[in-house]
Amino acid sequence: MNWVTGGLLSALGSVPGEVIAFVGAGGKTTVAWRLLQELRGAGKPAVFTTTTQIFRPRSGWAELILDADPAAGDVSRALAGASSVVVAARLGRRADRHRTDGDPSPAEGVKVTGLAPAVVDRLSRQLPAVTWLVEADGARGRLLKAPAAHEPVIPSGTDRVVVVASLDAVGRALDEGTVHRPDIVARLLGVELGALITPEMIADTVSHPSGGMKGVPSGAQAVLLLTDWGEADRSTGAAVADRVLRSGRIDRIVEADLRRAESVRAVWRS
C-alpha cells in the first residue's frame, strides 16, 4: 500500500486523453465530476458523457450538448468556451435525485439519455487530446451492485474501466436498500438475500467476471475505486484490497473519501 496525496486522476493510474468508463455503485457520478473539475483546473480538455443515463447538470455548471451524433467540431468549440462540458443524446424523464452527504455533483432531477458506444468511440478518435469520462452503468444511488444481462455499456475503445463500490456497504444488509440488483449479487456469491455485507463480499463482487469485471474490453485497464462516505472503518479498505489483489483480476485499488477536497486516502498495487 502507498499512502498518497494529490489528484484522483493520478491515483487511478490515468493520464489526460484517455477514455475512462465508470461502472459499479457508490459514487460514479461524483467521481466523474471530480475528475472533470480536476482536468479542467489543470487546463486539460475533458467531457463527461454517458452510455446509459445521468442527471442533467444544473444551469451554469456545464455546457450541455444534446445531440445523439454530435460533430467533433461542435464539441471542440464547446470545450474552448466552457469550463465543463457534458454531452448526451436527449432529455429523458424526471426522477428523484438521490444525494449522499458530501456529494458535490451539480445535477438536477431530470435525466439525460446517453450516447451510443460507437459515437463515443468515434469522438474519442477524432479528439484524441480530450479525456472522455463515461458513466457506463446505473445503480440508483446504491452502494454496491452486480450488472444485469444488458449491463454495463462500455465503449470498445475504452482505455480504463473504474469499478466503483462503497465501503459504507459493509455491515448493511444485502437488500434493495443497499445493493442494486441484490438477487444477482447473492447468486454470484452464493449467499442469502439479507445477509450482512462483509469486506470479502465486496471484494468478490467487484472482481467477479460477471460482477464488476463484466464487459471490460480486452485492451482496457481495470481499476477498483473504493469510496468512503464517512461510515467505513479505516481497516475495511485494506481488507477489500488484499482479497481483490489476490484474485489476480485487478492490480490497482484506490480508496477515496469523497467528502474531502483531497479525497485519495490510499493506493494498493500488486
Domain boundaries, the chain: 8-51+130-269
Contact (CB, 8 A) for 199 and 243: yes
Q: What is d(CA 212, CA 228) in angstroms, rounded to the nearest whole number?
A: 18
| pLDDT given for residue 92 in this prediction | 80
Topology classification of domain 8-51+130-269: Rossmann fold (3.40.50)
Residue 265's contacts (CB-CB under 8 Å, 6 or more residues apart) are 3, 228, 237, 255, 256, 257
For 208, the grid coordinates are: 467477479
pLDDT along the chain (270 residues), means of 10: 68 96 95 92 95 87 93 96 90 65 61 96 98 96 96 98 97 97 98 98 98 97 92 85 96 92 91
pLDDT at position 259 is: 84
> Which amino acid is located at 205 in the chain?
T
As a whole-number percent, the residues of the chain with pLDDT over 90 amount to: 78
The pLDDT of residue 260 is 84
pLDDT at 100: 45
Distance CA 62, CA 66 (A): 12
